[in-house]
Structure 1
Amino acid sequence: MRATLALWFLVFSGFACNYMIRINLNIAIVDMTTVRSKTSGAHMCPNSTAFSSIRPADSSSRKTEFQWTDRERAMVLGSFYWLHWATQLPGGILARTYGAKRIFGFSNLFMFVMSFVMPFAARWDIKALVAARALQGLVGGMAWPSVHHLTAHWIPPNKRSNFITAYLGSSIGVAITYPLCGLIMEQWGWSYVFYVSAVVGVLWFLAWWLLVYDTPAEHPFISPNELAHITSSLTSMVSAEPLPIPWKSVLTSLPVWTALFVQWGTGWALHTLMTQTPTYLNLMFGWSPQTVGMWSGIPHFTRFFFSLFLSFGIDSLMSTGLYSRTCVRKISTNICTVAQALLVLAVVYAGCDQILVNVFLTLAMTASGASTSGPLSMMVDLAPNFASVLQGFSGIIGVVPGMISPFVLSYFTNDNNTVESWQHFFALSAVIIAMPGLMYNFVGSSELQPWNAPNGAVVNQELAITANGLTTKK
């Protein structure tokens, strides 16, 4: 399984670089501009001393280049997602025509190149920075759905949850980027955050272009045994040639719409925590960029390892034949929605306790690791022939929260950041995250859909899984 393992590593590192680019501004902005607060001290919790060894940043001597309002900050942080949704569906469709190697590779490469531009755009005008980020997000939108096309053509159903943990290279990218960028800002300044991220990304692209192939059959070094295993596992589910997209069936499918609703909730959770945590920790406790980076990054490490651990458990449950695919997806979905919402709500009650705030933020992000075994696997489960197209729809829904969340926060803070205003925002977020998961328990499904073979050759779920040496109980 060497070819599949190599593919996992390159997808993993590709998502790590992708997220390094999309979130580098989230940590850089801590050093780019000063956030306004009602409190007279350096931060919203001046009497918080739980971590006595952590020294707050000296805000009196710290100068920033830009004086942005909360709304301008929201505009800068959310601009990446303004057009990011628009290329999700086209990215999935283009991957079917030109292959995921090209679409994922060049989409990422454009983001890397644009990262070099960000410091110049910021110093020219805030509107230029917003425009550059919006353009970066537009082209970058094609990355996620295109990789689902690779997954559908390379990975057998009972190994899908484990392979999709590669998507959480995104978490490792975030986990490394935050502390690394905090250190870079301390040493060289915020502009080098963008330069270093870009260089790392370009190096990844070179490896991707040389080593990745769209299908196992195209791979020149894959072993005959590995090729035979993959081909026999997918023959009954995945067509060798692109099939016409059954748009009516897709758009009227209750399982698809339920999965999209779940994607909305998990998208809100991910983008809210990923985007706002650095600013929140800086505002709450007045920590330096390096300290903020470290504590913002730790939850993404735990998210990845929890995802890896859970994926083995979920795939093992499916392999026993005792649990339906929908059943195991419900387990994962409840963890990354309902359980995560409770942990986000706990942040509200943690108040200014540094230990509890960081514990609950870490556990909340960790719980979102269940998304690889839940929401991210659903679209491949429902129709592997159209996985990239379904993920395109999913991507549209999933990234909209990244655009909206900063503005919702700015409504609560309104240039006067207080503990209470942030708590109200987190409480609302908890409700938004939990509702889709609760709905999925009643009407959700991850079973293979009849329209996966729109040419009339309806694929039977039970026969398809039997062909892989498994039996599924409904």
Structure 2
Amino acid sequence: MLYPMNIGVDNLCEFHGSQDKEGFRIILFRSVSEKPPYRMCIGIMILCTTALNYCFRTFFPITLIAMIKKNNTEVLSNGTRITKELPDYGPRFKWPAFVEGQLLGAYFYGYTVGSLPGGPIAEFFGPYWTITGCQYPALHGLIAAWAPPNEKGSFVACLMGNVLGAVITQAAVGYLVARLEWYWGFYFTGLMAALFIVSWVILVSDQPNKSWFCSAKEVDFILEQQQGSVQSGRSKQPFLKMATSIPFIILVICQFGNLWSLYLLLTVVPKFMADVLKFDIENVGFLTSTPSISRFVCGFIFGGIADFLLKRELLRKVVIRKGFIIFSHIIPGITLFLYIVVGDNVAVSVALIIIVMAFNGASVVTSTGNPQDLAPNFAGTQIGIMNFFGSMPGFIIPAMVAEITKEKSELPEWIIIFGISGILYIISGVVFILFGSVEIQPWNQKQDARPPSTT
């Protein structure tokens, strides 16, 4: 509630029917003088980190449309065939469909290789020093160190910054390429990276007790809430135990289905919009960012709802994780099959993609949040392994699409592509509902490790 600045404490007490004037002075002072907890800044930096990651992933599919030399399009006007010249976005290259597919997937070759050792590297050197292919394992290590258990849903939701990065990049690159040639897709991405690095070096630290800016009071609060579940110190990663852990194997399957359809949107849906829906490059950039916006917003909504349910103890964690799978996997999978019905209706086609990504925002509660349940001490290692397998669709999908559409890229071919994605969504979701777990695993315990101190 807001009050006029000149109202007295006596009047406030009278207004609220309270006799505790000193208590009101304390509350009034705290509400004005207390700073937000520094872990909020860490959450924002996690969001910015994933935004930059997807800036690198999403600028090239848009830029590539302007780089490929295709035949001039022909349209009919009053029965007369008219040749429509391609826009001039700079030099164009006559690459076959196979090369185009390999170019779209090239980023993910390196990213997949970097993901597997990413967790151990991040846990050995600390998240502060870990970037690029190791980024997501490092960020989960950062969340494990900074997030109280009842705030982990909100922290994991900050990983949805990847969607924010996709939104900004797809819209900005589409606009810049349409006006300043395709080179500017690369210039824009490089500038964003330079600005981010400066902020990261200044603001981020591996643990609260190592931060320049986190107060001792907040450090004590975080450690008290974690109750020793997060331990400092280096330890051998339990790879063998993880490889034989059913809950973790199920989580890998669940994440594979999640990332398959996410990478479908990032890598080849721009091609679908250009080839089937006939959008120009600027509209492709704008429209492919719209589903990302829905995923970003809904990710925070789902994460907030999950945290609320946990804090109020309205539902058990296992019910929340498995219940939200219906939103993150099952509903998006069913929605992709609707392309069989809607045909090439432009408005409905775009709406379906938006619906898929909006509901998939719940993945912050399911496949993305579950590593923090199983083993917070090795959350980075888990994510590294999950992303090793989950990133494979990044180069499998472009190659598959290139093969399916090598003769023609029309709606029947894309129904097959969307159908495959829908099946993987549903299967991976059902498997998690049946066999997934939220119980902390025995291999979470680090050997010869200790809880972090406040000094």
Fold match by TM threshold 0.5: yes
Question: Does the Cα contact within 8 Å between 1:341 and 1:431 map onto a contact in 2?
Answer: yes
* 2:85 match: 60
CA offsets 1:117-150 (integer angstroms, 9 cap, x no match): xxxxxxxxxxxxxxxxxxxxxxx31111111110
User: Over aligned residues, Cα RMSD in angstroms?
Assistant: 2.1
Task: Give 1:97's match in structure 2, choosing from 118, 124, 139.
Answer: 124
| TM-score normalised per structure 2 | 0.86
Q: Equivalents in 1 of 2:42, 2:447: separation in Å?
A: 31
* 2:19 match: none
**Structure 1 unaligned regions, length at least 5:** 48-57, 105-139, 460-474
Q: Equivalents in 1 of 2:446, 2:188: separation in Å?
A: 47
* 1:7 match: 42
Paired letter, 2:148: P
Question: Does the Cα contact within 8 Å between 2:62 and 2:173 map onto a contact in 1?
Answer: yes
Question: Does the Cα contact within 8 Å between 1:35 and 1:69 map onto a contact in 2?
Answer: no
In the alignment, structure 1 residue 412 sits paired with structure 2 residue 404: yes
CA offsets 1:337-364 (integer angstroms, 9 cap, x no match): 1111112222332211111001001111
Cα distance change on mapping 1:315 and 1:35 into 2, 3 Å: farther
Question: Does the Cα contact within 8 Å between 1:267 and 1:398 map onto a contact in 2?
Answer: yes
Question: Does the Cα contact within 8 Å between 1:325 and 1:447 map onto a contact in 2?
Answer: no
Q: Equivalents in 1 of 2:289, 2:177: separation in Å?
A: 15
Cα distance change on mapping 1:59 and 1:319 into 2, 3 Å: farther
Q: Equivalents in 2 of 1:356, 1:424: separation in Å?
A: 18
Paired letter, 2:58: I
CA offsets 1:14-46 (integer angstroms, 9 cap, x no match): 111111112110110111114579xx746xxx9
Deviation of 1:289 after TM superposition, in Å, equals 1.0
* 2:10 match: none
Q: Secondary structure of the equivalent of 1:144?
A: helix
Q: Which range is displaced more, 226-235 or 209-218?
A: 226-235
In the alignment, structure 1 residue 76 sits paired with structure 2 residue 103: yes
Question: Does the Cα contact within 8 Å between 1:238 and 1:385 map onto a contact in 2?
Answer: yes
Q: Equivalents in 2 of 1:271, 1:187: separation in Å?
A: 27
In the alignment, structure 1 residue 202 sits paired with structure 2 residue 227: no
Q: Equivalents in 2 of 1:292, 1:25: separation in Å?
A: 13
Deviation of 1:9 after TM superposition, in Å, equals 1.0
Question: Does the Cα contact within 8 Å between 2:377 and 2:446 map onto a contact in 1?
Answer: no
In the alignment, structure 1 residue 250 sits paired with structure 2 residue 242: yes
Q: Equivalents in 2 of 1:214, 1:314: separation in Å?
A: 26
Deviation of 1:455 after TM superposition, in Å, equals 4.2
The structure number with the bigger radius of gyration is: 2
CA offsets 1:268-314 (integer angstroms, 9 cap, x no match): 01001111121111112322211111111011111111010111111
* 2:272 match: 280
Deviation of 1:236 after TM superposition, in Å, equals 2.4
Identity of aligned residues (%): 24
In the alignment, structure 1 residue 434 sits paired with structure 2 residue 426: yes
CA offsets 1:392-450 (integer angstroms, 9 cap, x no match): 11111110111101111122112421211111111111111210101111111122112
In the alignment, structure 1 residue 31 sits paired with structure 2 residue 100: no
User: How many residue pairs end up in the alignment?
Assistant: 408
CA offsets 1:132-176 (integer angstroms, 9 cap, x no match): xxxxxxxx3111111111011111121111111111111011011
Paired letter, 2:190: A
CA offsets 1:179-213 (integer angstroms, 9 cap, x no match): 11111011101111111111111111101101111
Matches within 5 A, 1:263-412: 263-412=255-404
Cα distance change on mapping 1:235 and 1:292 into 2, 3 Å: same
* 1:223 match: 215
**Structure 2 unaligned regions, length at least 5:** 1-35, 78-82
Q: Equivalents in 2 of 1:455, 1:97: separation in Å?
A: 14
| TM-score normalised per structure 1 | 0.82
Deviation of 1:243 after TM superposition, in Å, equals 3.1
Paired letter, 2:54: Y
